[in-house]
Structure 1
Amino acid sequence: MKIATVAALTVMLSAGYAFAGGGAPVPEGSQKDPASGRPGKVLDDAACTKAWETAGPDGDTLSKDKATPFIINYQMVDTSNDGKISQEEWKTGCGKGWISSDDAATAKDMQGTPAQ
Structure 2
Amino acid sequence: MQQVAPAQKHPKAPQPSSSGAFVLPGEVAVAVRYPNPPIDTIRPKDVADRAGTAEAFGVDEVTIRRWVHLELIEHLPIPGGPHLYHLPTVAYAERHTWLNGAHRPARGGRRPGWQPGQVAAA
TM-score of the alignment, normalized to the shorter chain, above 0.5: no
Q: When the two structures are superposed, what TM-score results if normalisation uses the length of structure 2?
A: 0.28
Which of 1 and 2 has greater Rg?
A: 1
Q: When the two structures are superposed, what TM-score results if normalisation uses the length of structure 1?
A: 0.29
* Structure showing the higher helix proportion among its residues: 1
